[in-house]
Structure formats: structure tokens, C-alpha cells
Amino acid sequence: MRRAWRWLAAAALTATGLHSLGCEAVRRGANPEVPIWANRPSWSMDVTYRVKILAPSRAEGEPYERGRAELDVVNRRVYIGSSDHGMYALSAEDGSIHWRFETLGPVQCEALYDAGEDVVYFGSNDGALYKVRASDGKLLWRFMTNAEVAEQPVLDSGLLFVVNANDTLVALDPKTGKMRWHQHRPPALGMEVAGYAGPTLWRNKVYMGFSDGTVTAFDKMTGIESWQPVDLSAEAEQSLGDVPTYLDVDTTPVPGTIEAGPAVFVASYEGGVFALDADTGNQIWDNVAPTGVTELYLWEQPAHEQIEGPRVERRRRLIASSGTTGIWALDPETGRDIWHRGLPDGGVSAPVPILGALMVTTTLQGMYLLSPLDGGVIDGIHTGDAFNMPVAAYGTRAYAVTNNGYLLAVRLRPPH
């Protein structure tokens, strides 16, 4: 079964896109052929360190790093997987390595840190899910799923939920690693986009999207279907007038309450973005324009008073990230477009919220800070590195590993 990578080349930006705005080379380790731009929009971002972390075996691995870092704020650690088959625990202060755990395949999975037990859960392309001690990386148990595990596990109500690339959802006992229940859907025939949806736990259900184009809700304790699978590929066929090439629902469902009631937001790769009733699966709205969507995020700004000017009411944006059509902001209530931005050459990562803004990495143009309100660029820096990995952010700090194996720590400040 062939898969086409979700990071797809995109058309060059227009004058309103990211490429038309300035950026600056990082002082240390920047590509000398990249000019040092003088027209930084706001000087809000600053690279605090850039540290090479990957093992020498990295030269024989995959030429990219995908799995976002997991942050342990109390102990000031960064847990991050790599294409050199390792899971790393690093110091958030300077990037030094506390420990490294070796697996049998690349680790392109976002880890899950559980402060209650002080443990780390993560998957590997070797098909296994691992539980290790966070203090020293000692293995506690290993569960074989028999397919790549690249989505972050979820811990909820005493169960650990994990999905693999073979459209299998598994609920485990986190103490022992024993399986409680599982659900599997036969993958679709033909082409699929690489990557898949992770599980979302909400309202005592597990919401999942599958590569055959369906979205389903399961009872989280028993695994029994809570509502019949919703076939978004059929919706895509109706809007396209033909059977879609890619059936995938690769977006992890996003929960939210709107005027129509509790809803989950999902996207079909070729069919657009949908809002479904969280209790029944019935469609609330759809928007067929944002195709190629692989990431969704519900951004919210609470109502607040201003020192000068009128009171600002609550604002919400459903941010949809596509490797083919760009970044979209939709109204969660109706699905209508609020703004749309194209992509820089080569593609862009999923947007990550930080200090009320959205931060993205790019394969060719460095890092950017965007406004959720209109998609405008707040700041941008050219690091001389290529990224496939979204940042992990907390407070004023953000972390990501470049495709050539450097951990970058970025500090954000109020715009000048």
C-alpha cells in the first residue's frame, strides 16, 4: 500500500504570504549563504541555544524529524524522539542529554509525560509502545502493536489509549501494559496520505478518524461504538463529483461546544472540514474549500477589558493546516472562512499556540509567529535549518529539532 507524505510541496507565496516578510539568520550556526535580513517585523523571537543531539547512526536514518517534543515543566526536561531510533530526555536549560533510550526503529512520535508516576510513554516505528521511567529512562514495559506508532498516547480515567498506523485503537492498563480492549478498521485500498489521526477523549467517548474516510466514537471504558461510523469519503465524493483519490481522515478530532451543542471538528483529506454532533455523529456544517487538511486546532481568546478602547468579546478560530492549500481560520459556529494564507516554499508545520499567537516551522524559511485573528506575520527568523517538526511551547519558550538533528530553544518577548 503506497503512501504519499503529508508534507507536500506548495506554490510560492503571494505578497501577502509568509515569504514576502523578513527574517534574520540566527547568530550561531546559520547558513552563510542566507542573507541577514534587516526587516524583522517585531523582534519577538530569539534563539537561546542550538545543540546537536542525535547519535552518529542518524546519518543512516530518515532525513527528517517529525514527533513534537513533550515538556516536563517541573523538572525542566524535554522528551523528544528522533530518527536515530532514540527517545531523549534533555535539559530544557541548555539541551544537555540526561538519558537516551534505544528502540528498533525511528521514533517519530510525540511522547506523553505522566507527572503522577513520573514516567514517559512513547511509540516507535518498530511497532511498539514503550513506558520508561522519566528520571533515568529505565524500561518498565513494552507493548507490541504490530504497526508504526507515531501519534501521542492519551491517558484518561485509568486507561492509556494508543493508535497505530494500521487503523487499530488500543486501550491499555497503564500500570501493566496489558490490553483492556481494541478496535480495528480495515485500511482503505489504494493510495493513503502518510500519517493518521490520534485519539480524542471527551464526554466519556474516544473519537477517532480512520484511513477509510470514517469517523467513529467509542465508549472509552468498553470500546463499544457509541454511534455509527460517519463516512466523510462519501461527502467528499458528493462535493467532488467523483471518488476521491485519498479517503483519509488524518486529523485528530478536536472537541468544542458551539451554539448547536457539543461538537467534534474533523477533516477529510479531499472533502474539507466538518463539524459533527458529539453525541450522534450527525453533521452540523461542512466547508469543502480547505482540502489537504492534516491538523486542526481550536483557538480561543476569552472576553477581556482593554486599558483603552471597548471591551473585547470572546473570539474563536478553528485553525486548519494543509500541506496543499495553506493555513485556514474558520468560524467554529458556521464553518465559514475568516482568513486564508498560502504556504512558504516547501511547506509548513502545524500551528502551535504560544502567548496568544500561533508559531509554525517551515522546511525552507525558518520559524514564524502568526496572528490567529488575521493570519498576519508577527515575527520570523531564518535559522539556516529545515524543519518538519512542530514546536512544543510553554510560557515564553518553544522547542523543536531540525531535520539535521539540532535542538533549538526559542524565547518569545513582547513585540518591539
What pLDDT shows up at residue 194? Answer: 61
- For residue 345, what pLDDT band results from cuts at 50, 70 and 90? confident
What pLDDT shows up at residue 39? Answer: 52
What pLDDT shows up at residue 296? Answer: 96
Res. 273: pLDDT tops 60:
yes
Cα separation of 81 and 136, whole Å? 15
* pTM across the whole model: 0.88
What average pLDDT does this structure show over 206-234?
A: 94
Mean of the per-residue pLDDT values of the chain: 86
Res. 192: pLDDT tops 70:
no
What pLDDT shows up at residue 40? Answer: 65
The domain segmentation of the chain, as residue ranges, is 3-64+186-412
Q: What is the CA radius of gyration of the chain?
A: 21
Query: Do residues 197 and 268 lie in contact, with contact meaning Cβ atoms separated by under 8 Å?
Result: no
What pLDDT shows up at residue 186? Answer: 87
* Structure confidence by residue, pLDDT tens digits, 245-269: 777 898 999 999 999 999 999 999 8
* Residue 396, all three cell numbers: 515564553
| Amino acid sitting at position 97 | I
Residue with the bigger pLDDT between 11 and 193: it is 193
Q: How much of the chain exceeds pLDDT 70, in percent? A: 86
What average pLDDT does this structure show over 383-390?
A: 89
Which segment of 15-24, 38-47, 264-273 scores lowest on mean pLDDT?
15-24
- For residue 397, what pLDDT band results from cuts at 50, 70 and 90? very high
Which segment of 27-31, 325-329, 344-348 scores lowest on mean pLDDT?
27-31
**Could you tell me the CA-to-CA distances from 380 to 41, 320, 341, 354 in Å, in that order?**
7, 20, 15, 14
**Residue 241 backbone class (left: φ over 0; alpha: ψ -120 to 50; beta: rest):** left
Q: How much of the chain exceeds pLDDT 90, in percent? A: 64
What pLDDT shows up at residue 14? Answer: 30
The fold of the 3-64+186-412 domain, in CATH, is Methylamine Dehydrogenase; Chain H (2.130.10)
* Residue 46, all three cell numbers: 530569539
Res. 26: pLDDT tops 80:
no
Which segment of 56-70, 77-91, 255-269 scores lowest on mean pLDDT?
56-70
- How many residues comprise the chain? 416
What pLDDT shows up at residue 181? Answer: 98
What pLDDT shows up at residue 416? Answer: 60
